[in-house]
Amino acid sequence: MSKKGLTTSEINQRIQENKVNGESKKLSKSTINIIKENIFTYFNFLNIVLFVFVFTTGKYQNAMFMGAVITNALIGIIQEMRAKKLLDQIRILTTTKVNACRDDAWIEISVDEIVQDDLLSLQAGIQIPIDGIVVEGSLEVNESLLTGESEPVYKKVGDIVYSGTIVLSGDAEVSVTKVGHDRQSEKIMEGAKISGFQKSALQKDLQKLIKIVSILIIPVALILVGMQMGVKELGYSDIVLNTSAAIIGMIPEGLVVLTSVALAVSTMRLLKLKALVQELYSIEGLARVDVVCLDKTGTLTQGDMQVDHVEIVSDISEMNLRAYMQAYLEMEKHPNPTAKALLEYFTSDTKIQVDSFQPFASERKYTSAYLHDIGTLYVGAFEFIFNKEDAVYQTYHDTFSQGELRTIAIALAREDDDKELLGLVYIRDVMRPNVNETLTYLSKQGVTIKVISGDYPKTVSSIARKAGVPNADKYIDLSVGEIDYDQVVEEYTVFGRVLPKQKKELLKALQRKHVVAMVGDGVNDIPALRQADVSIAMLAGSSAAKDISDIVLLENDFNVVPSIVCEGRRVINNISRASSMYLVKTLFSFFLTIYVALFQTVYPFVPVHLTMISAICVGIPTVFLQLEPSYEKLKGRFLLDAFLRALPSAITVVLAAIFTKVYRTSTGLPLESANAILVFVTGVIYLYTLYRIYQPTTKYRLTIVLIMSFLFVIVYYFTQSILGISFGLELLPVTLLTSVIGVVLVTLLGFSLTTRSK
């Protein structure tokens, strides 16, 4: 026997020569990248520069903002490292494995261990991780990621296969020619997902906000310094402190950290639900999902199939039928659940030679085997084996559905190529426990269910109805006639006899009005999974389906999908609310800077004022409120909605600052007393904004607001010397009156903006 596969020494040599495939997908950032991304940022650089300038003034209490900067960085690093640890631990479950022949034995290795010249065994369902040449067997491959063509390509001995393409059917041994960066289609693997949320609205809006602030902050700071230098009573210290306060106010650094931490924490929470997030920003997609598409097998049912009974409709004997079926089934090297059920049922001692074999493919919906001196045996979907013009089609098409039982046709074509129906196999699949409760909950959350299956539509409809899918009696057979996809997705709930490319078209039609999640596990689901806004695969599914999905269900349990959707809504809704709190400071700082520049006056805040207000009224409460349930469906644009919620409070703070200046000028009030009024009123406006944004009111939310209010008053009163303010009882009436007017103004402006936006 000749040597087959590489030896250990040959493998080690190729590893030394760096001819290794390497890691194909990283679920988590490296430790170095986490630290870099949290420390070496543009905003942190600005804060360090400001810290140096503030330190030179000798008023060190105003440098306390660096404590918040350092805390934000540490929280970001710690939470992302915790998420990384969990992701790295779970990665071993989702790493794609292939069979490789080494030292004359077939072993299972991960795709990153493949070396050049390895001999691999590839089967249906795998996304090819290397470039190679077929040396034995044959494959049907979908090369749409490479060529854009969806038609399967037949690969025989001597043909080249490329990384990123997907094996639809067949079994072959492939010699590896290119690995790692040498692969012709290396970037195809990264581009396999076409999700609308791969670069989400949240991600885009955050990047847009950072870009706008980054561009404006330096010129605005220079203008502010120039204008304040023209104010006679201001010295070096005053100019530095006022300018620093304006710039610190405009930097939304807490918002960026909050988003990263919230998504990292959400990833860990989803892991506890046994759901692995492979695309971080797909969590936002979950928050917007209002349609969930799913296959019948493995979602509504457990995929544990058994033959219920067989109906013989020709003059063939049961013994011969069993022999024919066993001959075909012995050719199935990697049987799917249906083939396994058939293998268990059709046993025979008679041996029949099989001259050729065509494996099952979702595009054909049948398999065929040429039995020596007998004819070609066809096993699969009745409508795809027989033409509509055939007499047998007219006889049996509308009669063979038996409720929830799946029907498989067995036909034989002899020399004249006329197919004769031999029998019908009825297969039973077990319904998932609690699936009714799961679907009912999704419906209550405003999520529409669509069942898309390759099976007979009446059968799928029966199972969907039993599972509790709303409007399950509205079904359509997509194998018949021309399809207006925009129309059928609105009219029907159950879609039967669907081809893989039709699944994709159905999702595209749904996406014109909805945000769509797709739950699948097979190679036939891959086009739809790539198209979906959020793709969810089962751990037990094909490696290709798992590789391109945003989320993998680690226990293959469809019943966790409602919890996943709710988690997505919770984290994004709370990020959106917290964003409004952070943007209040950014907006009023920008408006005040314009006011100061236009009127050549003094900036009303110093850094220590904003540090105290931000910590007590924004930083601390938003961390605790981030864990609050918030399951309403996300609507609108993230950044625009956050701005609209923040704008009333920002305008009110600006008006309070102007009023305080006018009041001080008209009454001759000392600067420390005027600052006392402004800081208190600003704190009240912030606390009211916290209460207003986190609606509806719950005991927990109200408790947080009350605790923060108490803490604010305590810190305000006992740190007057640090804050540079002086509050006396004589200021109480004007302070309280201004606070009340501020609250009323925020309410009125908020109501006005909400009405206009609608």
Q: What is the mean pLDDT of residues 110-118?
A: 89
Q: Three-state secondary structure along 691-738?
A: HHHCCCCCHHHHHHHHHHHHHHHHHHHHCHHHHCCCCCHHHHHHHHHH
Cβ(508)–Cβ(485) under 8 Å? yes
Contact 611/65 with Cβ under 8 angstroms? yes
SS (H, E, C) 396-460: HCCCCCECCEEEEEEEEECCCCCEEEEEEEEEEEEECCCHHHHHHHHHHCCCEEEEECCCCHHHH
- Rg, Å, the chain Cα set: 33
Instruction: Say if 139 falls within a structural domain.
Output: yes
Give the CATH number, domain containing residue 103: 2.70.150.10
82 burial level (CB within 10 Å; 0-12, 13-18, 19+): middle
Residues 311 and 416 in one domain: yes
Is 62 inside any structural domain? no
Q: What is the pLDDT of residue 370?
A: 92
Q: At 673, is the secondary structure helix, strand, or coil?
A: helix
Strands of 188-273, DSSP E:
none
pLDDT at res. 175: 93
> Which comes out higher in pLDDT, residue 268 or 681?
681
Cβ atoms of residues 527 and 510 within 8 Å: no
Verify that 442 and 398 share a domain, yes or no. Answer: no
Q: How far is CA 565 from CA 10, 57, 134, 265, 433, in A?
A: 49, 52, 43, 15, 20
Mean pLDDT comparison of 88-97, 211-220, 745-754, highest-scoring range: 211-220
What is the CATH classification number for the domain harbouring 741?
1.20.1110.10
pLDDT at residue 213 is higher than 90: no
623 lies in the same domain as 716:
yes
Tell me the pLDDT of the chain averaged across its residues: 83
- Per-residue pLDDT, averaged over 437-462, amounts to 87
Query: Other C-beta atoms within 10 Å of 147: how many?
Result: 12
Average pLDDT over residues 76-93: 69
Q: Is the model's pLDDT at 1 over the cut of 60?
A: no
Spatial distance between the Cα atoms of 519 and 536, rounded to a whole number of angstroms: 5
Q: Do residue 572 and residue 664 come from a single domain?
A: yes
CATH of the domain at 357: 3.40.1110.10
395 and 328 fall within a common domain = yes
pLDDT reported for residue 636? 65
pLDDT in tens, 556-605: 888 888 888 888 888 888 888 888 898 998 899 889 988 888 888 888 88
**Which 3 state secondary structure label does DSSP give 168?**
strand
What gap in Å lies between CA 624 and CA 609, rounded to an integer?
Answer: 23
Q: Are residues 105 and 131 in the same domain?
A: yes
Q: What is the pLDDT of residue 188?
A: 42
533 and 653 part of one domain: no
339 Cβ contact partners less than 8 Å away, ≥ 6 residues apart: 329, 332, 360
Record the pTM: 0.73
Single out the residue in 383, 398, 430 at which a domain terminates. Answer: 430
Give φ, ψ of 212 to 5 degrees: -65, -50
Which domain does 735 fall in, by range?
A: 204-268+566-755
- Average pLDDT for 535-556: 81
Say what the pLDDT of residue 193 is. Answer: 44
Tell me what the mean pLDDT of segment 727-736 comes to. 82
The whole-number average pLDDT for the span 617-640 is 80
Higher per-residue pLDDT: 249 or 685: 685
Look at residue 165 and tell me if it is in a domain. Answer: yes
Residues with catalytic function: 295
Confidence of residue 443 (pLDDT cuts 50, 70, 90): confident
SS3 assignment, position 554: coil
| 468/543 same-domain check | yes
At 477, is the secondary structure helix, strand, or coil?
A: strand
H-type alpha helices, 346-408: 382-385, 391-396
DSSP letter, residue 109: E
- Which one of 430, 456, 486 terminates a domain? 430
Range with top average pLDDT, 80-84, 210-214, 658-662: 658-662
Of the residues 166, 191, 216, which one is the last residue of a structural domain? 191
For the stretch 219-261, pLDDT in tens is: 888 888 887 777 766 788 888 888 888 888 888 877 777 777 7
Q: Which of 114, 98, 94 lies closest to 171 in space, CA to CA?
A: 98
Spatial contact of 246 and 222, defined as CB atoms under 8 Å apart:
no
Residue 258 resides in a domain:
yes
Q: pLDDT band for position 545 (50/70/90)?
A: confident
Q: How many domains does the chain have?
A: 4
Q: Are 377 and 483 members of one domain?
A: no
Q: Residue 64: inside a domain, yes or no?
A: no
Inform me whether the pLDDT recorded for 19 exceeds 60.
yes
Q: What percent of the chain has pLDDT over 90?
A: 22
> Positive or negative CA dihedral for 597, 602, 607, 611?
negative
pLDDT in tens, 373-400: 899 999 988 888 887 767 676 666 666 5
471 located within any domain:
yes
Burial of 532 (0-12, 13-18, 19+ CB in 10 A): buried
CA distance 684 to 312: 81
Confidence band (pLDDT; 50, 70, 90) for 88?
A: low
Residues 422 and 440 in one domain: no
**pLDDT at site 616:** 93
Higher pLDDT, 179 or 87: 179
- Confidence category of residue 197, pLDDT binned at 50, 70, 90: very low
Kindly state whether residues 240 and 120 are assigned to the same domain: no
pLDDT at 285 over 90: no
Residue 69 in domain: no
Same domain? 610 vs 750: yes
Within a domain: 59: no
